[in-house]
């Protein structure tokens, strides 16, 4: 019988190409502390997991947390995962394919559960963020690329080869001359990412002759939103098209999986509710009528989504055993 | 303790607009008998469920099957279902929204589970048909319309409002002048259904001046396949376009849910493996690279898919209690 007066903890780890974010949470999802360590990708990334294990051990020592008080360690990393915890193609960490779950477990000697970082972030937003209270959620992350994660019945929807929720690569435009990073042409990510918004604006500037504060400038996604807010007509046109692309892509996804809510995260989502206005008309135009009322919400956890989701991942896995 | 020597049965019911198909299966999924009764849609369909209950009771009497030998009755019907068993918008049965599960249970006095007919058919193909052995499956039914069902981890993926797997209404073409039955324009169903194939062929005949055995004829989907088999160039072109549409639509879905296998059913699937040749190139062109190796298979159960799936639905529901 556990003594419920003794605080129980869980660690959530979010492994990125530059830094690893580690969170110490209580089992109810309250963040006690979060900190970062560098991701040492040298020598094929052999130091990454030992560094994480050492950081966790040190934190437990510093805070006087015993092994019996820690439910486990969850970790998200940038790659698809097999069901057994094998990570594939995490090239930007320097890794070849290996069983990350087993290796991290051997280091920390506690229950471990691993998952794809985008899916894990979606689980975090479902648990403690913008998707709280909804069991079927689509998370779309609008950053340098377009990522995503599907939560179905409160759990990550992985798909057969871990590519479930890879919504950035839904095909959208037939005659796109530029190639997407995935090798295809005309993927959602090519228009709906922050980089995509810049491409869309660049094309508007090429097509149209009117003046714009962005003409001849080296601009970023945020500058387009700012210009539109200040009445720049071409920036407004670019955002209209941006919303049309994103709304159409989300409509295709919602026609397939019919989520209760779509949670928008990533850098572009900092634009706030205006994003919903841009997307809603296009979404409703293209989506199956039965899914028209899908709710929209903004992500709430920012860069912490990964540590929350990783913590939830191991909590669920231990509770289901 | 059950006596395992006494045979256990389950009933699977597939309610269509014209006939109700009822299947008596053993719990291992072997069909003992299947028969049909008319669907009496008059007076808002009030006779449909009592007719089913009576048919089941009579069959049990005829065969000397006791209540204790029947695990339950599963039923599929054409409409979205709420989690509690409420069916919505089953207008072609004459029904207004009501709790079908409770009402059928009151009539048969056995465990009952209900679900959308397309989803239930997908579950049947997963259990005993083309998807056997795969836990994550997409079923696409190419008939008068395009229906579908997603099986995730061996269970029906319903979505928030029961519209999960309504893949016939994925948006595919922007400038389609014709309206789809759902009210939108350019849905997958408008091109990839049997009716859609006829539309595609009609457009090829309009565009091109070459001769064709179908020119000036009143033809159906099967005639296009036959003509193409006999070397008709315009029919071949129509099927090439048909495959392009269907492959693209399936690619969008597979990029979202990443199934292990796609099972093709419905009238058009009687064309056989040639369908895969038509679809594969387009599918691989548009799908996310991680999902390129998705398997294709033909449905195996034909019109029996619904009774198998309905039986499995109630078996799972009873076993999970």
- Shortest distance between the Cα of B140 and any Cα of chain A, in A, equals 12
* Mean pLDDT of the A125-143 span: 96
- Shortest distance between the Cα of A147 and any Cα of chain B, in A, equals 11
* pLDDT recorded at residue B3: 46
- Within 8 A of A150 by CB-CB distance, chain B residues are 256-257
B1 band by pLDDT with thresholds 50, 70 and 90 = very low
* pLDDT recorded at residue A1: 42
DSSP three-state, residue A234: helix
* pLDDT recorded at residue B112: 98
| Rounded Cα–Cα distance for residues B262 and B295 (Å) | 6
* pLDDT recorded at residue A100: 97
- Over B76-101, what HEC string results? EECCCECCCCEECCCHHHCCCCEEHH
- Measured between CB atoms, does B269 come within 8 Å of chain A? no
Q: Least CA distance to B169: which residue of chain A?
A: A288
β-bridge partners, B11: B24, B73
- Measured between CB atoms, does A162 come within 8 Å of chain B? yes
Position A41 pLDDT exceeds 70:
yes
- Shortest distance between the Cα of B307 and any Cα of chain A, in A, equals 24
pLDDT in tens, B21-33: 999 999 999 999 9
pLDDT in tens, B102-138: 999 999 999 999 999 999 999 999 999 999 999 999 9
Q: Would the CB atoms of B182 and A285 count as touching at under 8 Å? A: no
| Rounded Cα–Cα distance for residues A240 and A200 (Å) | 10
Position A23 pLDDT exceeds 90:
yes
| Rounded Cα–Cα distance for residues A223 and A213 (Å) | 9
Q: Least CA distance to A79: which residue of chain B?
A: B290
| Rounded Cα–Cα distance for residues A9 and A237 (Å) | 49
For CA atoms A204, A205, A210, A214, the dihedral sign is positive
| Rounded Cα–Cα distance for residues A152 and B85 (Å) | 19
- Within 8 A of A163 by CB-CB distance, chain B residues are 255, 258, 288, 290-291
Residues, chain B: 321
β-bridge partners, B33: B24
- Which of B:60-119 have CB within 8 Å of A? 80
- Shortest distance between the Cα of B314 and any Cα of chain A, in A, equals 20
Question: Within a 10 A sphere around the Cβ of A293, how many other Cβ atoms?
Answer: 11
Position A5 pLDDT exceeds 90:
no
Token pair listed for A31: 């963040």
| Residue to test with chain A: of B137, B163, B168, B292, most A Cβ within 10 A | B163
Question: Within a 10 A sphere around the Cβ of A162, how many other Cβ atoms?
Answer: 22
Q: Compare CB distances from B288 to A157, A182, A252 and report the shortest one's residue.
A: A182
Q: Would you say A263 and A131 are in contact if contact means Cβ atoms under 8 Å apart?
A: yes
Position A192 pLDDT exceeds 70:
yes
Q: Which residue has the tokens 């029961």?
A: B162
Cβ-in-10-Å burial (0-12, 13-18, 19+) of B33 comes to exposed
* Mean pLDDT of the A170-199 span: 94
ipTM above 0.90, yes or no: no
Q: Would the CB atoms of B171 and A290 count as touching at under 8 Å? A: no
B4 band by pLDDT with thresholds 50, 70 and 90 = low
pLDDT in tens, A67-91: 999 999 999 998 889 889 999 888 8
- Which of A:10-49 have CB within 8 Å of B? none
* pLDDT recorded at residue B5: 61
* pLDDT recorded at residue B161: 76
**Among candidate residues B117, B176, B164, the one with its CA nearest the CA of residue B143:** B117
| Rounded Cα–Cα distance for residues A61 and B38 (Å) | 73
Domains and CATH numbers, chain B: 9-116+304-319 (3.30.420.40), 130-300 (3.30.420.40)
The single-letter DSSP state of residue A273 is T
The single-letter DSSP state of residue B129 is S
| Rounded Cα–Cα distance for residues B254 and B247 (Å) | 10
Q: What is the pTM of this model?
A: 0.91
| Residue to test with chain A: of B290, B291, B293, B297, most A Cβ within 10 A | B290
Q: Compare CB distances from A260 to B160, B170, B183 and report the shortest one's residue.
A: B160
| Rounded Cα–Cα distance for residues B159 and B151 (Å) | 11
- DSSP characters for B220-238? -HHHHHHHHHTT-HHHHHH
β-bridge partners, A151: A137, A156
* pLDDT recorded at residue A2: 46
**Among candidate residues A137, A32, A139, the one with its CA nearest the CA of residue A76:** A139
- Which of B:270-309 have CB within 8 Å of A? 285-291, 293-294
Q: Least CA distance to A165: which residue of chain B?
A: B256
* pLDDT recorded at residue B2: 46
- Shortest distance between the Cα of B182 and any Cα of chain A, in A, equals 7
| Rounded Cα–Cα distance for residues A251 and B174 (Å) | 13
* Direct distance between the N- and C-terminal alpha carbons of chain B, in angstroms, rounded to an integer: 17
- Within 8 A of B253 by CB-CB distance, chain A residues are 256
* pLDDT recorded at residue B92: 82
Q: Would you say B112 and B104 are in contact if contact means Cβ atoms under 8 Å apart?
A: yes
**Among candidate residues A187, A45, A307, the one with its CA nearest the CA of residue B291:** A187
């Amino acid at each position: 019988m556990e003594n419920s007066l003794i605080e129980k903890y869980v660690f959530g780890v979010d492994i990125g190409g530059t830094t690893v974010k580690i969170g110490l949470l209580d089992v109810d999802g309250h963040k006690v502390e979060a900190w970062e360590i560098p991701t040492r990708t040298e020598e094929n990334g052999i130091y990454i997991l030992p560094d994480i294990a050492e950081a966790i051990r040190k934190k437990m020592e510093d805070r006087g947390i015993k092994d019996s008080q820690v439910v486990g360690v969850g970790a998200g990393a940038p790659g698809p995962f097999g069901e057994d915890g094998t990570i594939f193609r995490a090239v930007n960490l320097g890794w070849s394919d290996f069983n990350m779950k087993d290796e991290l477990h051997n280091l920390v000697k506690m229950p471990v559960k691993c998952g794809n970082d985008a899916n894990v972030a979606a689980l975090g937003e479902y648990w403690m963020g913008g998707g709280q209270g909804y069991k079927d959620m689509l998370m779309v992350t609008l950053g340098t690329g377009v990522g995503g994660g599907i939560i179905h019945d409160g759990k990550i929807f992985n798909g057969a080869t871990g590519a479930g929720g890879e919504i950035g690569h839904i095909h959208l435009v037939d005659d796109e001359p530029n190639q997407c990073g995935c090798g295809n042409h005309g993927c959602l990510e090519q228009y709906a990412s922050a980089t995509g918004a810049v491409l869309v604006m660049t094309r508007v500037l090429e097509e149209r002759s009117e003046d714009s504060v962005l003409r001849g400038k080296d601009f970023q996604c945020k500058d387009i939103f700012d210009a539109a807010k200040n009445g720049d007509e071409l920036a407004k046109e670019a955002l209209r098209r941006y919303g049309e692309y994103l709304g159409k892509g989300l409509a295709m996804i919602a026609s397939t999986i019919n989520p209760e809510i779509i949670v928008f995260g990533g850098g572009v989502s900092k634009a706030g509710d205006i994003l919903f206005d841009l997307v809603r008309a296009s979404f409703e135009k293209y989506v199956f009528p039965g899914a028209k009322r899908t709710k929209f919400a903004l992500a709430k956890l920012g860069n912490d989504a990964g540590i929350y989701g990783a913590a939830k991942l191991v909590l669920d896995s231990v509770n289901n055993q």
